[in-house]
A and B are shown apart, each in its own frame.
Chain A
Amino acid sequence: AQSVTQPDIHITVSEGASLELRCNYSYGATPYLFWYVQSPGQGLQLLLKYFSGDTLVQGIKGFEAEFKRSQSSFNLRKPSVHWSDAAEYFCAVGLSGNTGKLIFGQGTTLQVKP
């Protein structure tokens, strides 16, 4: 069965430090890949997506993610974290030719220290 794993439940980084959030998926073919962010009391906002082509994708708020087929990974990165980045981050997989269903990882809560 398809699955998405975010190994880190909580991460704390200092403001200005770099960030990498990990995401691994299990699926036979190349899926569509997404990162969503959820601030407290808010809905899910799309940060970036990968469908095909360049494996390094740029998103909003200075985030980027790299698809590595050999590792079945789609890690999210940001070179310098801002206090406003504190939120919960979800990796999600969409299956091509499917009904649009997304499978989400467990989420990673990011705390930013001043």
Chain B
Amino acid sequence: EPEVTQTPSHQVTQMGQEVILRCVPISNHLYFYWYRQILGQKVEFLVSFYNNEISEKSEIFDDQFSVERPDGSNFTLKIRSTKLEDSAMYFCASSADVNTEAFFGQGTRLTVV
């Protein structure tokens, strides 16, 4: 069964460092998303991406965040200068269409120290 894969599963980084979280969406999907879940809180939408551009972003997704689909298979989330409050589980998701179900990856747990 096709699945969304994310790497790494866990990343520890120092405050102020840049991190790149990687995702391989399902191959025939066209819509890509990042969500995050701070420990004990709800899953929050960060950004949606279609046709090589951001289609929507939340207020969380400020200038420190960027997304890219560098090679037609990977979908990355970059945090330029991490803060302690960026510590969270980050989920990548993809969907075939905007009005179909999204499939989620296993998540990357980011710990900023």
Contact = CB atoms under 8 A, between A and B. Distances in A.
B45 A46 contact: no
Interface string A93-105: 0101111111111
A92 B106 CA distance: 18
Contacts of A71: none
B18 interface: no
Interface string A74-114: 00000000000000001010101111111111110000000
Interface in B35-86: 35, 41-45, 48, 50, 55-56
Contacts of B103: 46
Contacts of B42: 90, 104-107
B29 to A, nearest CB: 10
Contacts, number: 65
A51 B104 contact: no
Interface residues of A, number: 25
Which secondary structure dominates chain B's binding surface?
strand
A43 B43 contact: no
A99 B56 contact: yes
Q: Which of B43, B55, B93 has the most CB of A within 10 A?
A: B43
Nearest to B97: A100
Q: Which of A36, A46, A94, A101 has the most CB of B within 10 A?
A: A101
B107 interface: yes
Given A32-B99, A99-B50, A100-B31, 4 more contacts: A46-B104, A98-B98, A100-B48, A102-B45
Interface of B: 4, 31, 33, 35, 41-45, 48, 50, 55-56, 91, 93, 95, 98-99, 101-107
